Amino acid sequence: MCYSTTLDRDLAALEKRLNRRLIDELRPSAVPGDAGQVLLPLARTSAFARPLWPVIGTRHPQHLDLMRWGLLPGHIRTEQEAREFMRKAPTFNAVSEEVEHKRTFKHAFENGQRCLVPVTGFFEWRHEGKSKVPYRIGAKDGDVFCLGGLWEKHRGAGTYTVLTTRANPLMAFIHNTKQRMPVIIAEADQEAWLSPDLPLTEAKRLCEPVPQEMLEAEALVVGPVQGELF
Digit-by-digit pLDDT tens for the chain (230 residues) are 789 999 999 999 999 999 999 998 888 764 455 555 677 999 999 999 999 999 999 999 999 999 999 999 988 888 899 999 999 999 999 999 999 999 999 999 999 999 999 999 999 999 999 899 999 999 999 999 999 999 999 877 899 999 999 999 999 999 999 999 999 999 999 999 999 999 999 999 999 999 999 999 999 976 555 544 33
Backbone angles phi, psi at 49, to 5 degrees: -80, -5
**Are the C-beta atoms of 179 and 164 separated by less than 8 Å?**
no
d(CA 25, CA 27): 6
d(CA 61, CA 97): 24
d(CA 204, CA 60): 22
Q: What share of the chain is helix, strand, coil (3-state, %, to 5)?
A: 25, 35, 40
pTM score, whole prediction: 0.92
Q: Which CATH number fits domain 4-23+34-219: 3.90.1680.10, 3.40.50.700, 3.40.1160.10, 3.40.50.2300?
A: 3.90.1680.10
d(CA 199, CA 220): 40
